[in-house]
Structure 1
Amino acid sequence: MLRNTRIFYFLITLLVVLLGILSRKINAIPLFIGDILYAVMVYFGCRLLFINGSNLKKIIFPLLFCYLIELQQLYNAEWLVAIRNTPLGHYALGQGFLWSDLVCYTLGIVMTVLIDCKILRR
């Protein structure tokens, strides 16, 4: 069965990346949806890397990654700002620190952990 394999999580990660980019292109979709999808992508990316990780790792690593990405936005070195000003850098690193993004990341990862544990692994 395809579930709980690296291919499965890779395909889901790609789908979430496409949905996240699409969410930024359609003005009717609120911006916080993209932030939630970013956290979902990070979660499934971590699941891809740590396929048999413990429940604690499934939550801590993606949250830590998302929080660190958000916190790095407080640092404005020229080289980092130059990366953020590229399209890929903008999508990956963001532009400015927002507390609400931390809430969106937490919500996205908690929601995804529940979906992963309850639905995807049945």
Structure 2
Amino acid sequence: MKRNRWIYAAFTILIIGLGLGSRAFSYVLPDTLNTYLGDSLWAAMIFTGCGFLFQKMKTMKTGLISLSFCFFIEISQLYHAEWIDRIRDTSLGGLVLGYGFLWSDIEAYTIGIAACTVIELLILEIKKRLNM
């Protein structure tokens, strides 16, 4: 399988917009959705970004690498030194690195990556059946 970079780039940009929108309009969303949506979308963006970078990587491996990256970022939030907290105090640094460890973020990342993995596997199966 070879992923189309344009499609993965477009999905990455779309997901970034949805993620920023989920934060901007969080007041209209139910609390349960607010707990997971932004972080699930962030993880989905990591998956599509990984898919963009590694066109030929198998779906499950892409999912595992993406999930590992998300977990690493979340676990890194347990580390607080002046230099990294200054980075986290910037808008971009806060979006990328986060602020503090939360188990709900781990759950959200797992949901986001699992959803992307399942969607990609379903699309691959549909393509396979159509080509038969």
State TM-score, norm by structure 1: 0.91
Letter in 1 for 2:71: Y
Q: Distance in 1 between matches of 2:66 and 2:89?
A: 24
Q: 1:52 aligns with which of 43, 56, 66?
A: 56
SS of corresponding position for 2:77: helix
Q: SS where residue 74 of structure 1 aligns? A: coil
What are the superposed Cα offsets for residues 89-116 of structure 1, whole Å, 9 maximum, x if unpaired?
Answer: 1111111100111011011101111112
**Could you tell me whether the CA contact under 8 Å between 1:43 and 1:62 is conserved in 2?**
yes
SS of 1:97 mapped into structure 2: coil
Contact 1:19 1:37 in 2 (8 A): yes
- Tell me: CA distance 1:24–1:31, structure 2 relative to 1, closer, same or farther (3 Å): farther
Kindly report the root-mean-square deviation, in angstroms, between the aligned alpha carbons of the 2 structures: 1.6
Which residue of structure 1 lines up, in the alignment, with residue 66 of structure 2?
A: 62
> Corresponding residue for 1:16?
15
For the residues of structure 2 that align with 1:55 and 1:71, how far apart are their CA atoms? 24
Corresponding residue for residue 98 of structure 1: 102
Query: What is the rounded CA distance, in whole Å, between the counterparts of 1:59 and 1:113 in structure 2?
Result: 6
Q: Does 2:77 correspond to 1:78?
A: no
- Detail structure 1 runs of 4+ shifted over 6 Å in the superposition: none
Deviations 1:2-60 (A, max 9, x none): x9311110110010001101111112231420010001000000000111102332121
Q: How many percent of aligned residue pairs carry the same amino acid?
A: 41
CA contact (8 A) 1:24 1:31 kept: no
1:36 equivalent in alignment to 2:40 = yes
Where do 5+ consecutive residues of structure 2 fail to align? 128-132
- Give 1:76 deviation, angstroms: 0.3
Residue 4 of structure 1 aligns to a residue whose secondary structure is coil
Are the aligned partners of 1:73 and 1:95 in contact in 2 as well (CA < 8 Å)? yes
Gaps of 5+ in 1: none
Taking structure 2 as the reference length, what is the TM-score of the superposition? 0.85
Select the structure of larger CA radius of gyration. Answer: 2
